[in-house]
Amino acid sequence: MRLFIQREQAESENRVAATPTTVKRFVEWGWEVTVEPGAGIRAGFPDELFADDGATLSGKVSDADIVLRAGIPTPEEVTDYSAGTTVIGFFDPYVNADLMRACEDAGLTIVALEAIPRTTLAQSMDALSSQATVGGYAAVLLAAEQSPKFLPMLVTAAGTIPPARVLILGVGVAGLQAIATARRLGALVQAYDVRPETREQVESLGARFVEAPTTETDAAGYAQAVDDDIQARQFAALAPHVKEADLIITTAQIPGRPAPLLITDAMVATMKPGSIIVDMAAGSGGNVEPSKADETVVTNHVTILGPTNLASTVAADASNMLARNMLTVLERARAEDGSVAFAEDTEVLGPATVIVNGSAAHPRTRTLLGYPEEAGA
């Protein structure tokens, strides 16, 4: 089996999909591992570390059976792969129609990490969660860096400085890590999620759960969409907490769907001058009405940041976690005879194999491309 580790072309992408440790495992399996020169340098893994663990350094991807990559490719990038190649990574497979069509045209098999089921069996392969952990941590540090305030309370000869008030909206993996990080930095933390079962998680981290409308979750564990009445009551309940906050981190996202609106223009207008908002959902429409993806917006003296790849800012550990996810995916796909099977694994990898040999297979990807949900229908 010939495995290729891609060097990401985007300047904003510092991660790598394999580390010297995971490369060593692949080599032990008897696989031929090729690492594109410079693939790991921005994550702190120079070429010689990969070479020391048995990898060949080369930029030739056309001979690969399997390609691992950390960032979402452009439609132009996938034309470099040979037909029949399996590419594992992030693809935005429910939204990015141009990329999915390009993958079909190139005759590829695509294993999209976003489509890994959120089950106990698949936890070790859940790259969305591992990278969200990094993102939640990085979001708090970004907000703290931008804020004109201390986060902890300080008692000094020059007087007592009260702790910053931090509000976390969305208590998934990223939100929980944001709560924990803000608490470690000494802030007073409040948090809200539309799912009522998150209250216990919030309180276990020492934060206060904000009382606001809640709703049920779907089969995948994501919150169901709220109607206009619930949303209006949600805005009313959150408004006083938004007004009091010094820093706000919003994390509410559902893969393949627009992010729910949690903070309106009017709510931002009530915030104190110098307040900071980091909208982690800016790339999918945003939880904050004025936010823009990968831009900084200043309105009413409030700074709103819309980063879309916070995990890349902590590239070493984000890469370590992603590489372990990739390793576990390939461990599950690998048979005793050395072959690999993805689409045939109905429990975990099959649902994530959104394109098979150039044909869209996942129902949501098929719908995106204008096909019937089921092949042959």
Are the beta carbons of 307 and 282 closer than 8 angstroms? yes
Q: State residue 124's pLDDT score.
A: 97
Residue in this structure with the two tokens 């060097």, named with its chain if needed: 7
Q: Which residues pair with 5 in a beta bridge?
A: 35, 68
Q: Model confidence over 85-103: pLDDT tens digits?
A: 999 999 999 999 999 999 9
Catalytic one among 222, 317, 334, 345?
222
Shared fold status for 2-116+315-368 and 132-308: yes
Q: Model confidence over 233-266: pLDDT tens digits?
A: 999 999 999 999 999 999 999 878 899 999 999 9
Q: What is the pTM of this model?
A: 0.94
pLDDT averaged over the chain? 95
**Is 123 marked active-site?**
yes
Catalytic one among 2, 101, 118, 184?
118
Q: Residue 279: name the closest of 246, 259, 307 by CA.
A: 307
Among 3-7, 114-118, 359-363, 371-375, the minimum mean pLDDT is found in 371-375
Catalytic one among 82, 124, 129, 146?
129
**Is 222 marked active-site?**
yes
Provide the CATH number for the domain formed by 2-116+315-368 in this structure: 3.40.50.720
Catalytic one among 53, 69, 81, 126?
126
**Is 192 marked active-site?**
no
> H helices within the chain, ranges in order?
20-28, 47-52, 97-105, 127-146, 173-184, 199-204, 228-244, 265-269, 315-333, 349-352, 363-368
Catalytic one among 65, 82, 101, 123?
123
**Is 234 marked active-site?**
no
**Is 12 marked active-site?**
no
Residue spans per domain, the chain: 2-116+315-368, 132-308
Q: Model confidence over 279-315: pLDDT tens digits?
A: 999 999 999 999 999 999 999 999 999 999 999 999 9
Provide the CATH number for the domain formed by 132-308 in this structure: 3.40.50.720
Q: Model confidence over 165-207: pLDDT tens digits?
A: 999 999 999 999 999 999 999 999 999 999 999 999 999 999 9
